[in-house]
A and B are shown apart, each in its own frame.
Chain A
Amino acid sequence: MTKQTSTKALLALTLAGGALWGAAAQADEDAQLVINGEIEIVTKAPLPAHMEEANMDAIYSGWLFRADETQQTQMDDFDNPGMIFVDQGMDQWNAVDGSEGKSCASCHEDVETSMKGVRAEYPKWNDNAEEVRTLVMQINDCRTEQMGAEPYGYTSGKMANMEALISLQSRGMPVDVAIDGPAESMWAQGKELYYTRTGQLDLSCASCHEENYGNMIRADHLSQGQINGFPVYRLKNTKLNTAHARFKGCVRDTRAETFKPGSPEFVALELYVASRGNGLSVEAPSVRN
């Protein structure tokens, strides 16, 4: 199904000589994402400075690449099935767990104030631990060190719930991941992974998400692979999906042996991919197909 507006947008782009969107592109570049009629989401932003060499004109949220119906589902929190999992995350937030008799709320109190802006900066260098930490690593550090509880599985449902709850508090704020200072070497490692071809199909992340976004790969409409909307509710499996689970799926699709979720390689890749979205709004929990 092609929208009239997208045809127009496509024509305009072609005339401008920047025909980056393939003939099969369905995305309506001019669509505006406003959630609950009040939260304005930036779905198109200028290239971050570190991406000047990339073969792209701007960065686009994956939301722009989805069908009308899927887009609309994300525009109202009651319609967004991802919010079910946010509710479950809220129950977890208030639930006492572990040997210390604490819940998340015991220290962090109101999630709406204490976690505001957190998601926008992760993954982030942690001075005490001297490592780059993803939000997932930080949540599990709290669970094991502060609560005396078992860590959540890296890509488990409970972890996705908690990530979604925390990410929601930053919704609408621009992604702002630091790539300099102590995080730089890990960021560089992530960049190398992004551009390294793997698997029997010999594909890198860039093969699809930089060189061919907007084109169809069989029945799938390729996005830029931005992770500003993660964890994402996918219609195909009716649950929240985490960034590392998606990385694993993508690497598997190149027919390579994948890295493990939570491995240093995927943490580096998450840092790099997140930095490619610097300037887009945090969208989680987003809705995709």
Chain B
Amino acid sequence: MASGVKPRVKAPKTAAAGETVTIKTLISHKMESGQRKNKDGSAIPRSIINRFTCEFNGQSVIDIKMEPAISTNPYFEFEAVVPEAGDFKFTWYDDDGSVYEDMKSVAIA
């Protein structure tokens, strides 16, 4: 079980209809690759976030499959078009089955 996991999202609170906005996301996670060994020489079990998705009003914006080579505290920055007021929903999937979620609402200015 990964500890100290905390999702963070930076998204604008308002946008013009049809505007392209930049969204930044970061989740604190150690992203243990499974290829390192501890002092006894035994492998440290893999523990990573393996998938990250973003949806806007139920429609997929981005869906990322993540691999062990991705470094600690994965950060994603991407753009999304905001056609109407609504909610961005962000979801991170952990190897251990945990699911971390965050939500950001965008109003039309």
List residues of chain A with CB under 8 Å of any chain B CB.
Answer: 78-79, 81, 84, 87-88, 238
Complex CA gap A233/B24 in Å reads 19
Total number of B residues with any Cβ neighbor in A under 8 Å: 11
From A84, A88, A238, residue with most partner B Cβ within 10 Å:
A84
Instruction: Please provide the 5 A-B residue pairs with the shortest distance between their CB atoms, ordered closest to farther.
Output: A78-B10, A84-B28, A238-B72, A78-B24, A81-B73
- Across the interface, do A79 and B73 meet the contact criterion of CB distance under 8 Å? no
Q: Is B58 an interface residue (CB 8 A)?
A: no
Which listed residue (B24, B26, B73) contacts A238, Cβ 8 A? B73
- Across the interface, do B6 and A84 meet the contact criterion of CB distance under 8 Å? yes
User: With A78-B24, A78-B26, A79-B24 in contact, is A84–B10 under 8 Å at CB?
Assistant: no
**19 residue pairs from A and B, CB less than 8 Å apart:** A78-B8, A78-B10, A78-B24, A78-B26, A79-B24, A79-B75, A81-B26, A81-B73, A81-B75, A84-B6, A84-B26, A84-B28, A84-B73, A87-B6, A87-B28, A88-B4, A238-B71, A238-B72, A238-B73
Q: List B contacts of A84 (CB < 8 A).
A: 6, 26, 28, 73
Known pairs A84-B6, A84-B28 / 15 extra A-B pairs, C-beta < 8 Å:
A78-B8, A78-B24, A78-B26, A79-B24, A79-B75, A81-B26, A81-B73, A81-B75, A84-B26, A84-B73, A87-B6, A88-B4, A238-B71, A238-B72, A238-B73
List residues of chain B with CB under 8 Å of any chain A CB.
Answer: 4, 6, 8, 10, 24, 26, 28, 71-73, 75
Q: List B contacts of A87 (CB < 8 A).
A: 6, 28
Task: Tell me how far the C-beta of B2 lies from the nearest C-beta in chain A, rounded to whole angstroms.
Answer: 14
Majority-rule SS of A interface residues? loop
From A78, A79, A81, A87, residue with most partner B Cβ within 10 Å:
A78
Task: Tell me how far the C-beta of B27 lies from the nearest C-beta in chain A, rounded to whole angstroms.
Answer: 9
Complex CA gap A81/B8 in Å reads 11
Q: Which residue of B lies closest to A237 (CB)?
A: B72
Task: Tell me how far the C-beta of A269 lies from the nearest C-beta in chain B, rounded to whole angstroms.
Answer: 30
Q: Which residue of B lies closest to A157 (CB)?
A: B4
Task: Tell me how far the C-beta of B75 lies from the nearest C-beta in chain A, rounded to whole angstroms.
Answer: 8
Q: List B contacts of A79 (CB < 8 A).
A: 24, 75
Complex CA gap A88/B8 in Å reads 13
Q: List A contacts of B71 (CB < 8 A).
A: 238
Complex CA gap A87/B75 in Å reads 16
Task: Tell me how far the C-beta of B5 lies from the nearest C-beta in chain A, rounded to whole angstroms.
Answer: 11
Task: Tell me how far the C-beta of A221 lies from the nearest C-beta in chain B, rounded to whole angstroms.
Answer: 23
Complex CA gap A67/B24 in Å reads 22
Complex CA gap A81/B28 in Å reads 9
Q: List A contacts of B4 (CB < 8 A).
A: 88
Q: List A contacts of B24 (CB < 8 A).
A: 78-79
Q: List B contacts of A78 (CB < 8 A).
A: 8, 10, 24, 26
Task: Tell me how far the C-beta of B39 lies from the nearest C-beta in chain A, rounded to whole angstroms.
Answer: 18
Task: Tell me how far the C-beta of B45 lies from the nearest C-beta in chain A, rounded to whole angstroms.
Answer: 19
Complex CA gap A87/B27 in Å reads 12
Task: Tell me how far the C-beta of A238 lies from the nearest C-beta in chain B, rounded to whole angstroms.
Answer: 5
Task: Tell me how far the C-beta of B90 lies from the nearest C-beta in chain A, rounded to whole angstroms.
Answer: 14
Task: Tell me how far the C-beta of B49 lies from the nearest C-beta in chain A, rounded to whole angstroms.
Answer: 14
Task: Tell me how far the C-beta of A67 lies from the nearest C-beta in chain B, rounded to whole angstroms.
Answer: 18
Complex CA gap A5/B78 in Å reads 30
Complex CA gap A84/B8 in Å reads 9
Complex CA gap A232/B55 in Å reads 35
Q: Which residue of A lies closest to B6 (CB)?
A: A87
Q: List A contacts of B8 (CB < 8 A).
A: 78
Q: List B contacts of A81 (CB < 8 A).
A: 26, 73, 75
Task: Tell me how far the C-beta of A83 lies from the nearest C-beta in chain B, rounded to whole angstroms.
Answer: 9
Task: Tell me how far the C-beta of A242 lies from the nearest C-beta in chain B, rounded to whole angstroms.
Answer: 18
Task: Tell me how far the C-beta of B4 lies from the nearest C-beta in chain A, rounded to whole angstroms.
Answer: 6
